[in-house]
Amino acid sequence: MNVLVLTRYERLGASSRIRFLQFLPRLEREGFTFDVRPLLDNAYVRSLYGGPPVGTVSILRAYGRRLRALMRRMQYDVVWLEKEALPWLPTWLEIARLEGIPYVVDYDDAWFHRYENHWLSPMLGHKIDAVMRVAHTVVAGNDYLARRARQAGARHVEIVPTVIDVERYRGLPVAPPNEVTTVGWIGIPLNAHYLAVIAPALRAVAGDTRIQLNVVGAPVPSELTGIPSESFPWSEDSEIARISAFDIGIMPLHDTPWERGKCAYKLLQVMAAGKPVIASPVGANVQVVRHGVNGFLANTTEEWSDALRRLAADPELRQRMGAEARRTVEDQYSTALAAPRLAAILKKAAAEL
């Protein structure tokens, strides 16, 4: 089966890497062939992370490449699409460039809210609904996204959570005992502002407990000044080693419609490394974290402070919860479970050509 894969980014973009690219070797062994045509290159992703800005000419060239790929779409059995083919362009053009071949579209973010809240909403506010409605299948990363797809009139909706290649997290070094508990967060600069949500809790705990905050992939926000903390650069090669140095992983979020579409990937990474987690009860976090078993769900400053203190004070609790966290990922959120489902979804869509 020949599949045209239209990702948003190259490998440096987490959504493309985790929702698409990590599955390709496994699916190729099942007889699939893939032609991967990302819209935006790694230079664009680096610009989002503080790198050199990408000029207008580069963006126009990217759209030109995407349009040429769409013109050749009939050479394939099915299109596997990330979010939409032509971001910020009118709905009619998007649908016209996709017609004639079945496509499977994947969402791991509530991208429809971005358009709804933008000044272009009169033109684009219902664009993602239209893409969902015309698709053969919408693959949603959580219940919130799936519910929107059904409301939009999607023909087939499948919930496939974001998953982890657990084999990459085997045999990690065991951190030696330390009087300082390392609290870790991993993400991108655009999301580091979520740490401000728990700044009062971190500051209160740091006043009576020896903790160190490790921020991987972003600078430490100014709201955390005075809290023992350090920033580390992110790379795909080093991220697992950085995570393995955590004693506790955290994922604070605001509770707004945008965050309800999030799929808990960074939380799952920490859990795959056998670490307990504390997370806001928002989006997929609610399904991933079993409160008091593999981590804690915390909403208020008091709940965050209590969870941090309990885990910092009790290494055996951390070990027990960490083992449960790892088991959760192995049993429910691994690539070995998701890949066969994706294969079946793509085959079913192609069969209706």
- Does position 225 have pLDDT exceeding 70, yes or no? yes
Closest CA to 267 of 326, 351, 318, 180: 326
Average pLDDT over residues 48-62: 91
Average pLDDT over residues 268-294: 97
Residue-wise pLDDT tens digits, 7-24: 999 999 999 999 999 999
pLDDT of residue 17: 97
- Does position 173 have pLDDT exceeding 90, yes or no? no
pLDDT of residue 177: 76
pLDDT of residue 51: 85
Could you tell me the strand order of the sheet in which 211-216 lies?
A: 229-232, 211-216, 181-186, 248-251, 277-279, 295-297
Average pLDDT over residues 167-174: 89
pLDDT of residue 353: 67
Average pLDDT over residues 53-80: 96
pLDDT of residue 50: 79
pLDDT above 90 as % of the chain? 95
- Does position 252 have pLDDT exceeding 80, yes or no? yes
For residue 167, count CB atoms less than 10 angstroms from its CB and return exposed for 0-12, middle for 13-18, buried for 19 or more. Answer: exposed
pLDDT band at 213 (very low <50, low <70, confident <90, very high): very high
pLDDT of residue 65: 97
- Does position 48 have pLDDT exceeding 90, yes or no? no
pLDDT of residue 297: 98
Task: For the chain, list the domains and their CATH numbers.
Answer: 2-163+334-350 (3.40.50.2000), 166-332 (3.40.50.2000)
For residue 225, count CB atoms less than 10 angstroms from its CB and return exposed for 0-12, middle for 13-18, buried for 19 or more. Answer: exposed
Residue-wise pLDDT tens digits, 130-152: 999 999 999 999 999 999 999 99
